[in-house]
Amino acid sequence: MRRYFTAFIAAVAIAIPAVAAPAGLKPFDADYVANYEGMEGAARMTLSQSDGKWVYVLRVTNSLATLSQSTTFDEKDGQWRPLSGTDSSAVFIKHKDKRAHYDWDKGVATYSGDVKPDRTGPVKLQAGDLDAMLVNLALTRDVHAGKPLRYRMVDDGRVKQLNYQVTGTEAITIGGRSQQATRITRTDGDKQEVLWVVDGLPVPARILRRKGGEDEMDLRLKSLH
């Protein structure tokens, strides 16, 4: 279940630059108000760097569940490459833990832990492939740059083509401050994902996931440091 959960009151705590997002990556800590399965909670998204590699982490919690995902990646020839990832969840007494490994020398991805036998891999990699977490970062980058929002995702033991569309602009409130956001949408059968991207922010200001017309997760940005 390596699907990213992202989005997230005090105006004094928020630090939002009023300029376009930089081309390069920079560390950040983003806090979100989260609604998951009808229960309000909190989420935190962080990006840090160590030994030339980047670590991107998302954690969502409420009284019913704890969801955590992380991706370690590097940058080569201008492209982000997932190197390894973890995905864990605890809902009531049910626990799941999955691990991903991307071997770019061999050109394959493999998976272990609580995964189905037909999802362990190896899955053949292509230049430009992303995992689910990195799609989240790439979407924000590419909306700012006006690039096509099309990605080949290698995640959870399978390959999937993801195509997003810009579906308008609207005002969104972040920490009591109104910001203009670009809304992007992807529909897959009865599932829909909607994201709001604001100039100057390295992460979506809001992410809404729906299934069968019902909200599954709604994350709204609260503060960014």
User: Going by DSSP bridges, is the β-strand pair 108-113/123-124 parallel, antiparallel, or unpaired?
Assistant: antiparallel
Could you give the CA distance from residue 90 to residue 94 in angstroms, rounded to a whole number? Answer: 6
Number of domains in the chain: 1
Residue range(s) defining the domain that contains residue 28: 11-224
Q: Is residue 1 part of a domain?
A: no
Could you give the CA distance from residue 225 to residue 219 in angstroms, rounded to a whole number? Answer: 17
Could you give the CA distance from residue 193 to residue 164 in angstroms, rounded to a whole number? Answer: 9
Q: Is residue 185 part of a domain?
A: yes
Name which residue leads in pLDDT, 190 or 24: 190
- The reported pTM is 0.83
**pLDDT (tens digit, 9 = 90+) per residue, 110-151?**
999 989 999 999 999 999 999 999 998 999 999 988 999 999
Q: Is residue 125 part of a domain?
A: yes
Distance (Å) of CA 74 to CA 96, 102, 146: 26, 11, 23
Name which residue leads in pLDDT, 36 or 33: 33
Q: Is residue 2 part of a domain?
A: no
- Res. 214 pLDDT band, cuts 50 70 90: confident
Q: Is residue 6 part of a domain?
A: no
Q: What angle do CA 64, 160, 199 make, to 5 degrees?
A: 70
CATH code assigned at 52: 2.50.20
Q: Is residue 3 part of a domain?
A: no
pLDDT for 206 equals 92
Mean pLDDT, to the nearest integer, of 19-36?
Answer: 74
Mean pLDDT, to the nearest integer, of 156-162?
Answer: 94
Q: Is the pLDDT of residue 12 over 80?
A: no
